[in-house]
Chains A and B, each alone.
Chain A
Amino acid sequence: MIVNNINSIQVGYKSKKFSVLEIVDHCLDQIKSQNPRLNALLTVCAQDSRKNASQADHIISKEGKNAFLTKPLLGVPLIHKDLFMTKGIPTTAGSKMLENYLPPYDATVVSRLKQAGAITLGKANLDAWAHGSSGENSDFGPTRHPLDQTLVSGGSSSGSAASVAAGFAPIATGTDTGGSIRLPAAFCGVVGLKPSYGRVSRYGIIAMSSSCDSIGHFSNNVADSARLLKITAGQDLFDATTPAIPVPDYPAHLKADNLKGIRLGLPIEYFELNTDKRIGQLVKEKAVVFQKAGAEVVEVSLPHTKYALPVYYIIVPAEVSSNLARFDGIRFGLNRRSFGAEAKRRIMLGTYILSAGYYDAYYLKAMKVRTLIVNDFKRIFKQVSALIAPVTPNLPFKIGEKASDPLSLYIQDILTVPANLAGLPALAVPAGRLDGLPVGLQLIGPQFGEETLFKLGQILETNV
């Protein structure tokens, strides 16, 4: 039974090869047998998902193929990062503080996907409050890599990436504030999309850094990523940072016959900051695929790249300390003593940075350097249509290896944070393997230029 992508699942439904209930049961079986080993899911909605599957089967038997026109994700199993509010389903943010929290409403993305017919199977593990790059900061234990239990799966959307890689569901949602979708996608060998800031509503998703949080998803192929974005993207009156820019028909733009006249850039700084040089080498080798399709690939320079990480670790903790101030023990969950070590560390750092006497030296300075980073990208996207880079500086590492040194974990984000600071879309696509472990290739595009990334991603996918 091939259930790893939307198309093959729905073709099966339409041809009566299998029912929605059979697919959901198949996914639940996978979860039951593998989740104790991977710790990718915190909540499994077995009963509700089986009930929803039967309902979907009923709709299909009544309306036939037409049912899929109004509900493009009808019967597609889905997993949500446990940062997304799901009405009546526990939402913990990976923190013991919210262990018993039941949201009174659905996040906009959750309700849009539900409306499209997707079936929520469960909620995925994550670094608590999305603070982390490895999945180890979860108060409910680390998510383990599907290929090797001794390795991290990448974070913060650790359980979402591992779930898709392990076949729990064909698609999963995630958030990316500094690489939290792209990094675990690259480590686990799946496709991860970080849309442009503002493209997808943040409403109902527990906030980490309000000027960087981007809402995206995981899938096993680029086509599914495009299909999902068409549903989740677009203005939401509950999130004032979503502009009224029309949502393109992303899946329709996938079929690129050739890339003639398109110029792509290899940003030299990304290859310098990459510590395992074999990753950069593999990415450069794969870039030849685009040349063969007719694109011109040139080396470009984004001189402020190395400052992106220090800027990020000023702006983000500052916004974290402010966003987590609402968790005062009165309105949601337990009191502030129940914050984990990393949450406390970021709250402390942010509070220090914003405190009297340091604001100008740190926060204001970081906002200014952020401008320089944004301008680097603006300049470069006048010359090239997209950038090709590694996602991660190294391969997945051992659980616990970097636990005692927060800074060495922060450095994992070095190649992903620039896109967040500039609000740009970026797509992580599997590019091959090294030492038997997946390696990701990152495509970064201009603001609201997701179409180009899907087009390029699919060319890469068919040639790996």
Chain B
Amino acid sequence: MKKNQLLINPQTIRKTAKLAELNLSEAEVKKYSRQLGQVVEYINQLQQLPTDKTTPTSQVTGLENVFRSDNRTETEIDLTPPSSYFRTKRIKSQ
């Protein structure tokens, strides 16, 4: 892995902000470059642990494929469309 100081540069921050659909000011770009760099440096300490033979944990309940019985219940959410719709401004620029 490359040095973090290089990884979390303003360019990376701008690219990440675009992926996250966040509009950051130049001041924010500068601030987050520094702060996220510190956090990434901190979390990098995990690299020193050997985990080649370790299986990942994504959840702790051990439950799999939880289904309910295929019966309608009284509490079923009403999916009838609302009687009126509304318009919003354009959300995403092209």
Binding site for B on A (CB under 8 A): 197-198, 211, 237, 240-241, 243, 304, 307, 310-311, 313-314, 321, 325, 328-330, 335-337, 339, 344-345, 347-349, 351-352, 355, 361-362, 364-372, 374, 406-407, 410, 422-423, 447
B64 to chain A minimum Cβ distance, whole angstroms, is 10
The majority secondary structure among interface residues of chain A is helix
A311, A321, A371, A447: the one contacting B20 at CB < 8 Å is: A321
Interface bits B35-50 vs A (CB < 8 Å: 1, else 0) = 1101110111111010
- Looking across the interface, which residue of chain B has its beta carbon closest to that of A367? B56
A237, A372, A374, A407: the one contacting B38 at CB < 8 Å is: A407
A339 to B40, CA, bound (A): 22
A241 to B65, CA, bound (A): 10
**Chain A residues whose C-beta falls within 8 Å of the C-beta of B94 in the assembled complex:** none
Categorize the interface residue count of chain B.
35 or more
Given contacts A330-B88, A370-B56, contact A352 B12 (CB under 8 A): yes
Given contacts A344-B28, A366-B46, contact A336 B23 (CB under 8 A): yes
- Looking across the interface, which residue of chain A has its beta carbon closest to that of B23? A337
Given contacts A351-B20, A372-B54, contact A198 B61 (CB under 8 A): yes
Given contacts A339-B22, A348-B22, A369-B51, contact A314 B43 (CB under 8 A): yes
User: A349-B39, A364-B56 known; 15 other A-B pairs, CB under 8 Å?
Assistant: A197-B60, A198-B60, A307-B45, A314-B46, A329-B91, A330-B88, A348-B22, A355-B16, A362-B43, A367-B56, A368-B54, A371-B55, A374-B57, A422-B60, A423-B60
**Chain B residues whose C-beta falls within 8 Å of the C-beta of A365 in the assembled complex:** 46-47, 51
A369 to B21, CA, bound (A): 30
Task: Check if B58 is an interface residue, CB within 8 A of chain A.
Answer: yes
A368 to B57, CA, bound (A): 6
**CB neighbors of A among B1-55 (8 A):** 1, 8, 12-13, 16-17, 19-24, 28, 32, 35-36, 38-40, 42-47, 49, 51, 54-55
Task: Check if B63 is an interface residue, CB within 8 A of chain A.
Answer: yes
Q: Is the CB of A310 within 8 A of B57?
A: no
- Looking across the interface, which residue of chain B has its beta carbon closest to that of A347? B20
**Chain B residues whose C-beta falls within 8 Å of the C-beta of A325 in the assembled complex:** 20-21
Q: Is the CB of B17 within 8 A of A243?
A: no
B24, B45, B46, B59: the one contacting A211 at CB < 8 Å is: B59
Q: Is the CB of B61 within 8 A of A243?
A: yes
Task: Check if B72 is an interface residue, CB within 8 A of chain A.
Answer: no
Q: Is the CB of B46 within 8 A of A348?
A: no
Name 19 A/B residue pairs within 8 A (Cβ), A-sorted.
A211-B58, A241-B66, A307-B46, A314-B43, A328-B21, A335-B91, A344-B22, A347-B20, A349-B39, A351-B20, A352-B12, A352-B16, A355-B19, A361-B1, A365-B51, A367-B57, A374-B57, A407-B39, A423-B61
- Looking across the interface, which residue of chain A has its beta carbon closest to that of B18? A351
- Looking across the interface, which residue of chain B has its beta carbon closest to that of A406? B35
A458 to chain B minimum Cβ distance, whole angstroms, is 27
**Chain B residues whose C-beta falls within 8 Å of the C-beta of A243 in the assembled complex:** 61, 63
A321 to chain B minimum Cβ distance, whole angstroms, is 6
Q: Is the CB of B63 within 8 A of A241?
A: yes
- Looking across the interface, which residue of chain A has its beta carbon closest to that of B1? A361
Given contacts A197-B61, A355-B16, A447-B60, contact A311 B23 (CB under 8 A): no
A314, A361, A371, A447: the one contacting B54 at CB < 8 Å is: A371
Interchain residue pairs A-B with the least CB separation, the first 7: A423-B60, A367-B56, A240-B66, A368-B51, A351-B20, A310-B43, A368-B54
Most chain A CB neighbours (cut-off 10 Å) among B16, B17, B20, B47 = B20
**Chain B residues whose C-beta falls within 8 Å of the C-beta of A371 in the assembled complex:** 54-57
A321 to B17, CA, bound (A): 11
A336 to B92, CA, bound (A): 11
A100 to chain B minimum Cβ distance, whole angstroms, is 15
**Chain A residues whose C-beta falls within 8 Å of the C-beta of B8 in the assembled complex:** 352
Interface bits B70-94 vs A (CB < 8 Å: 1, else 0) = 0000000000000000001001000
- Looking across the interface, which residue of chain A has its beta carbon closest to that of B28? A344
Most chain B CB neighbours (cut-off 10 Å) among A197, A321, A351 = A351
- Looking across the interface, which residue of chain B has its beta carbon closest to that of A324? B20
